[in-house]
Amino acid sequence: MIRLYDSRQQAVVDLEPRAPGRIGMYVCGPTVQSSPHLGHLRSALVYDLWRRWLGYRGFEVTFVRNVTDIDDKVLDNATDAEPWWALAYRVELEFARAYRTLGILDPTYEPRATAAIPGMIALIERLLVRGHAYAADDGSGDVYFDVRSWPAYGELTRQRVEDMAASVDVDPRGKRDPRDFALWKGRKSTEPVSAAWAAPWGEGRPGWHIECSAMSRLYLGAEFDIHGGGLDLRFPHHENELAQSSAAGDAFARRWVHNGLVTIAGQKMSKSLGNSVFAAELLGAARPLAIRYFLAGAHYRSSLDYHAGSLAEAEAAVARIESFVTRVGRRLSGTAEAAQVLPAVPEAFAVAMDDDLSVPEALAVLHDRIRSGNTALDGGDLDAAAAALGEVRAMTGVLGIDPQAPEWRGAGDDAATAALEALVERMLGDRQTARERREFAVADRIRDELSAAGITIEDAPDGARWSIS
């Protein structure tokens, strides 16, 4: 049984899917106003891990991650040289490249807000008919959700309406209550005509919150299993989604999952502090495989701290995995034990992942298997080494950090590996010839040259084995 922390119940609960064997999952994707940063990558990776584990456990996962391509901030950041729609598309491509670089799987569906306007209008109409929304009487064309009309408003974050701050997403003069939020924003004269759509109450564009309610309904139906997003989205975004969808008559999300935020050397990452780490900077600082390991290392609900040594620590951990997989793979090559390498995760790993996706505990199991596998290989126990290799490959496969997976081994890598193998094997042949001739100084020199290049040599009865140290 998979268990997760439901933010709505504020407890770890059973997943209990709506339909046996199937999971519908909606995750709030980026608002494509500017380049992706570390926080965006961390959030995307968290739900990639959830999706992979659910898939490993046999569920058919429909994974929806939206793109908010029309929003106040998108319009604010547009220029005469780059209209809002061009800016949104350029930034969307930046996000897509960063996701692919980190091995984040493509969503089943990735709707853009601008392609789902009819569904948003239909949802607003239902709220108006049910008495939970109203059109402003100031001629602006704005439509608001009436928070006082929905007694359950605040249930996700356990707040009373009286304690909430006023919503500031539109001119407050058209509101009945300062906490009412915009479902539709009438077009202002300063906004481009291309950023407005026709609606029964006036030309304009959707509010941010209504977008996700409409898109999740379009692709997953009126009720689905998991709604995910960053902790900073709980209020007001997710609170407002829950209220408007429920008020419209939809059961909406059964479980709410939120990932923790990112800190930089212990400080909150923010533009005001000037400590934002952007994706391009991060991806230029280390191998994508090591960055993925770093992003996955903390429990998804906890804060992830990025500091000077973060990527070096992740690189060292990845190197241990690579060294083990390469070392055991070479030793088993052509042996009967090689056929026994069956990928299956250990029970302890599965227990950790089933328990609210406890990746730190799962990584501890992974590194324990690497240690025991190396010990078995050193002792000549090839059966145990083969079993450990199968488990390690299975665990790293689920986590998306298998160093031998195709996404981490491109054609260029394969060519470089083949060239390296040819050179090392030739040098080992020269070393063996020197030893047979009792030219030990020459043999030692070859070993030292290989060692200086980061190649570790192990002499065995059936010949020398090598690995990258």
Query: What digits encode the pLDDT tens for the residues 20-46?
Result: 999 999 999 999 999 999 999 999 999
Q: How confident is the model at residue 462 (pLDDT cuts 50, 70, 90)?
A: low
Encode pLDDT of 41-67 as tens digits: 999 999 999 999 999 999 999 999 999
> Hey, what CATH class is 309-407 in?
mainly alpha
Beta bridge partners of 226: 25, 255
What's the mean pLDDT in 122-138?
Answer: 96
C-alpha closest to that of 246 among 282, 276, 216: 216
Residue 249 amino acid letter: G
**Rg of the chain over all Cα atoms, to the nearest angstrom:** 27
**Region of poorest pLDDT, from 53-62, 134-143, 440-449:** 440-449
Q: How confident is the model at residue 427 (pLDDT cuts 50, 70, 90)?
A: confident
Q: How confident is the model at residue 428 (pLDDT cuts 50, 70, 90)?
A: confident
Beta bridge partners of 133: 145
Predicted TM-score (pTM) of the model is 0.87
Q: How confident is the model at residue 412 (pLDDT cuts 50, 70, 90)?
A: very low
Fold match between 3-259 and 309-407? no
Which helix or strand (DSSP H or E) is residue 405 part of?
A: none
Write out the two tokens for 435: 């030893």
What's the mean pLDDT in 270-286?
Answer: 89
**Region of poorest pLDDT, from 268-282, 284-298, 356-370:** 268-282
Which CATH topology does 3-259 take?
Answer: Rossmann fold (3.40.50)
**Region of poorest pLDDT, from 286-300, 313-327, 428-442:** 428-442
Write out the two tokens for 180: 């009412």
pLDDT for residue 250 is more than 70:
yes
d(C-alpha 59, C-alpha 50), whole Å: 11
Encode pLDDT of 307-325 as tens digits: 989 999 999 999 999 999 9
Query: What is the per-residue DSSP string for 99-166?
Result: HHHTTPPPPSB--BGGG-HHHHHHHHHHHHHTTSEEE-TTSS--EEE-GGG-TTTTTTTT--GGGSPP
pLDDT, averaged across the chain: 92
Angle between helices 310-332 and 382-399 (to 10 degrees): 140
Question: What residue segments make up the domains of the chain, in order of their start?
Answer: 3-259, 309-407, 411-468
Q: What is the dihedral of CA 349, 350, 355, 361, to 10 degrees?
A: 10
pLDDT for residue 411 is more than 60:
no
What's the mean pLDDT in 215-233?
Answer: 97
User: Is 399 or 174 the better-scoring residue by pLDDT?
Assistant: 399
Angle (CA) 97-90-75 rounded to 5° is: 135
Strand extents, DSSP E, 191-270: 204-206, 223-230, 252-259, 262-264, 267-268
Phi/psi of residue 135, nearest 5 degrees: -90, 135
Encode pLDDT of 164-189 as tens digits: 877 776 667 788 999 999 999 999 99
